[in-house]
Amino acid sequence: MEGDRMRNKKFAAFFNRKSYIVAVVIMVVAAFGMLGLYYAQQEREQEEQLAKQQEENVRRAKEEDAAREKAAKERAEAKMAADAKAKILEQKKAEEEETAEVSGIIEPQDDNFMDEPEVVAETSAPVVPEIHFNAETDLSWPLQGNVIMHYSTEHTIFSETLQQYQSNPAIVIKADVNTPVTAVASGTVTSIETDPVTGITMTVDMGDGYTAYYGQLKEIPKNQGEYVESGEVIGYVSEPTKYYSVEGSNLYFQLRKDGATVDPMQYLE
């Protein structure tokens, strides 16, 4: 009987020690598990931060590339405008020098010049025909192409480049770069300017209050004040400005009557 009691005590003591060992093992395993979860969480957070930093770097690089491209394009447009202006000034100076040479006074050939009137060389100024615009006679098209943006001042139309709705006081005709542009009617060149939206733009007075505007041009053979015949080449289609980068190369054509825009489609053939 006493022996059984001793065995039971030994068994209970062994069982208690074993329970403690199992509990310790469980606590150690749990501790390692929690530590592993902690490090895994830290690693995920580091990966997320690295991914965000990479996205930010890509975004900044794209912005810098876009800014450089914009600056380069603006410099090219400014250079083109400066070259065109310099060419016009050079041609104008040459014409003035030629006129000055032709209009010089002829010196007398003998000593009896007091008895004879002075002879002045006659200058032959270009004869400019009288400008008259007949609103009932259809205009000729400046070039062949599809109208991709119609005249619209009462309702707005969507601009693919600007991604917004806006009014359009002209028509935009799709055309390849270097396509010749002809005058829709006879008139006098009143200005050749560079506009940030329409690029190099020529203005032609066609008489009776009608004025034509040709935008997105290059290599203009005419100068301010010169006469152009209907159907005469007045320039060529240039690369589009940044305001028409999505629409692509085109001719911007606007028609005005007494300073107010009118729909060119009502006059073109």
The residue with greater pLDDT, 113 or 255, is 255
Residues 213-237, mean pLDDT to the nearest whole number: 96
Question: What was the pLDDT predicted at 12?
Answer: 63
In this structure, the number of other CB atoms found within 10 A of the CB of residue 169 comes to 15
Q: Residue 31 CB: number of other CB atoms within 10 A?
A: 10
The distance from CA 12 to its chain's CA centroid, rounded to whole angstroms, is: 92
Q: Give per-residue pLDDT as tens, 13-58.
A: 666 666 777 777 788 777 777 877 887 888 888 888 878 887 887 7
- The 10s digit of each residue's pLDDT in 123-150 is 444 556 788 888 777 789 999 999 999 9
Q: How many CB atoms lie within 10 A of CB 161?
A: 14
Sequence-distant contacts of 39-48: CB under 8 A, at least 24 apart: none
More confident residue, 109 or 207: 207
> Which pairs from 82-89 meet CB under 8 Å and 24+ separation?
84/192, 84/194, 84/200, 84/218, 84/220, 85/194, 88/192, 88/223, 88/224
pLDDT score of 199 more than 80: yes
DSSP state of 113: G
Tokens of 213: 């505007």
Whole-number pLDDT of residue 9: 67
User: Rounded to an integer, what distance in angstroms lies between the CA atom of residue 228 and that of residue 214?
Assistant: 13
- Predicted local distance difference test score (pLDDT) of residue 104: 53
